[in-house]
Amino acid sequence: MPTKRFYFDFYQCNTISTNTANEYHSPDDVMAKLLQDFEDAHQLTVKQVGSKIVEMRDIQRTSFGFKGILGKHRQNDLPHAAVAGGQERELTLNANENLLEKAYFHYYSVNSVLIIQKNRYCYNWLLLSKYLSDSVQNTTVNPIIQTASLNWLMRNEVRIKTLEIGIARPRNAELFRNAEHDFNNAMIATLNGSNSAKINLTLRGDGRTTDPETRYLGSNLKRAFAETFETFQVEKLKVDTENVETGFNHPLDLVADKLTHYADVEMGGRYPLSASIWEALAAAKASKEDELNAYFGLPGAQVD
């Protein structure tokens, strides 16, 4: 049986509701609503996300949470089909048809972990966040960062020299009024005050001095990062760090350094066999248990 290598990305979901009276209180509630809509009529899961049409092609409840298949419709012009060195021909679709990209996923209720087949033509975490959100709740889907990067950052002797962050404006800024960290409150105020759709911010210490008070950014920024990921759709978060004891410099990309897994999946023609890819998703979770346990233990860690 032929195989193909597939990659799987790890995310954590977080849901913030406009008030306690509505039906959404957690990502589990969001998934349960999608399941109910899917069972009532598949079309109820179809949403327009910007210029994209996104839907659930399948969703089921499981012992660990939910599993399903996300679908995104592409309305691109079709390429031609051809044999190498031979004639080419046009591919055709009916007037109501689109190209369909799919991604299989597992959602785990414990810690709201989403593991999804990597398919850049189908989704990114910003599109997922928008698809899982609506007018009464905002659900963010944020990459789970490799613990090696986070452990380095949280070391007391490691200080931040430069921070680059890019965020998208919240869909409903009222949801974020209770942000706990001043750093996030300041970004909310900036977005609201400037009416910007996005903000890109660079903070730098004074690299020309050896005085730690001015050479490095405040260590309290480390505490802001977890809340930043939970609150905003973070498109970029890069930090340039330095070990004050050894002088060793180490850049981190807290979006690119996300947890991932790969597996060789059995194929049926051009498509993965469903049973094989479900098995690969379960294996992805099992392979990263130690990383996940370390990651979700980090909020209690002490930093300087």
Q: What is the pLDDT along the chain (304 residues), one digit of tens a residue?
A: 899 999 999 999 988 877 767 777 899 999 999 999 999 999 999 999 988 899 999 999 999 999 999 999 987 667 788 888 888 888 788 878 778 899 999 999 999 999 999 998 898 887 898 899 988 888 888 888 877 777 778 777 888 888 888 876 655 555 555 566 677 777 777 766 666 667 787 888 877 777 777 788 877 777 777 667 766 767 788 888 888 788 788 888 877 778 899 999 999 988 899 999 999 999 999 999 988 988 887 544 433 3
The answer for residues whose C-beta is within 8 angstroms of residue 247's C-beta and 6 or more apart is: none
- Cβ–Cβ contacts within 10 Å for residue 187, how many? 23
- Cβ–Cβ contacts within 10 Å for residue 134, how many? 16
Query: In Å, what is the CA distance from 167 to each residue of 99, 271, 273?
Result: 30, 35, 37
Residue 258 confidence (pLDDT): 81
Q: In which element (H, E) is residue 140 found?
A: strand 137-143
Alpha-helical runs (H) found in 22-171? 27-40, 125-131, 147-154
Place of tokens 């300087």: 304
Residue 112 confidence (pLDDT): 95
Instruction: State the amino acid at position 77 in one-letter form.
Output: D
Residue 255 confidence (pLDDT): 74
